[in-house]
Amino acid sequence: MHSVKVEVVRDLEAPGIDPRILGIFREYLGYVGDGYCEFEEALLVCVISIPKVLGNGIPQVELFRVFIVVDPDVDKMYIYPEDGEAFLAGLGMERLERAGDYREALQELLNHLVGSYNAILTSIQDAIDKVEDMVESGDLGYVVKATYVLRRSLINTRRGLKNLVQMLREINSDQRKSSMVKSHHMLLELIDEALAGLEIVEIYRETIISLREAHASLLGLKLNDIVKRLTAITVVLMLPTLIASIYGMNFDTSYPLNMPELSWSFGYIYALLLMISSSMAGYFLLKVKGWF
């Protein structure tokens, strides 16, 4: 049974690879950007973005490029991923090698690409659900870090999906390019799926903004509560401090009106009781008002 030949180029200096193909890879490596396909004579050259999740926990999405050259004359596909084995591990080379021809292989690769973004969006959704739970539980430190990482991941995912939609539409609108894909109907489905992914990204971005606003509101409420408690403590301690400062004034006690309490036998106990009672009165008053 005939099947397409797929060759992975891991080293642009490797011997045994068609020098023309290596020259194309080197040329396109020097160009900035991705998300397009164009012909180099009879060869179809595509530069696409692949999402990659870094780290554990909150998904940190980064994009790296994969260069594809399809040679219809010999029914062969060349793949050069900038990130080496990461792309190949997710793709599963046996799926491409089972394809009947280069048209089916290219379609399988595009289908895998759209599926990669769908998997990323699913992981982002799970992370957003986790962050929402953290907002409710009050783990605000985690929320700050997570929303920052998710925002950056969504920006990268949006950029990759936007370039993907651009490339798929470009293939669909060009008869010569669309003939390189086995099923035109499948190509239209991939475009719709990628567009749906872009809409989901926008929804998630709005959700992240709402989470950040909720976080800011909760932080403000906690700060207000702390300030209120500190104010209440200050009020409670201010009353005995005021009494102590009054009795600490050095007036001539030989005059009858100048602090006669200083001459009382129980003047010291009287001052202490006055300070304690004033503090307790202030505490219970503020407690009734909900400040403690």
pLDDT above 50 for 279: yes
Are 137 and 263 in the same domain?
no
Around 112, how many Cα atoms within 13 Å sit in the side-chain half-sphere?
Answer: 20
In 98-183, which residue ranges form alpha helices assigned H by DSSP? 102-137, 140-173, 175-178
List pLDDT tens digits, range 196-234.
Answer: 999 999 999 998 888 877 777 777 777 777 787 888 888
Three-state SS for 214?
helix
Are 193 and 246 in the same domain?
no
The partner residues of 273 in beta bridges, in order of sequence, read none
Are 190 and 247 in the same domain?
no
pLDDT at 191: 93
Are 251 and 147 in the same domain?
no
Band (1; pLDDT cuts 50, 70, 90): very low
Span 15-39, average pLDDT: 88
Higher-confidence position of 92 and 103: 103
Pick from 214, 231, 266: which residue ends a domain?
214
Band (165; pLDDT cuts 50, 70, 90): very high
Higher-confidence position of 111 and 235: 111
Are 238 and 95 in the same domain?
no
Are 160 and 53 in the same domain?
yes
Are 162 and 58 in the same domain?
yes
Band (162; pLDDT cuts 50, 70, 90): very high
Q: Give the C-alpha separation, 290 to 292, whole Å.
A: 5
Pick from 182, 214, 246: which residue ends a domain?
214
Are 63 and 153 in the same domain?
yes
Are 189 and 232 in the same domain?
no
Tally of domains within the chain: 2
Whole-number mean pLDDT of the chain?
82
Q: Give the C-alpha separation, 45 to 33, whole Å.
A: 14
Structural domain harbouring 169:
5-214
List pLDDT tens digits, range 99-146.
Answer: 778 888 888 888 888 988 998 999 889 888 888 877 766 666 777 788
The partner residues of 53 in beta bridges, in order of sequence, read 61
Are 117 and 145 in the same domain?
yes
- Whole-prediction pTM: 0.73
pLDDT at 127: 87
Q: Give the relative orientation of helices 102-137 and 140-173 as an angle to the nearest 10 degrees.
A: 160
Are 238 and 277 in the same domain?
yes
**CA distances for 208 relative to 6, 16, 54, 75, 201, angstroms:** 41, 50, 20, 46, 10
List pLDDT tens digits, range 33-85.
Answer: 888 999 998 999 999 888 888 877 788 888 888 899 999 988 888 988 876 55
Span 161-173, average pLDDT: 92
Are 233 and 208 in the same domain?
no
pLDDT above 50 for 15: yes
Q: Give the C-alpha separation, 204 to 151, whole Å.
A: 9
pLDDT at 154: 92
pLDDT at 244: 81
Pick from 179, 214, 249: which residue ends a domain?
214
The partner residues of 49 in beta bridges, in order of sequence, read 65
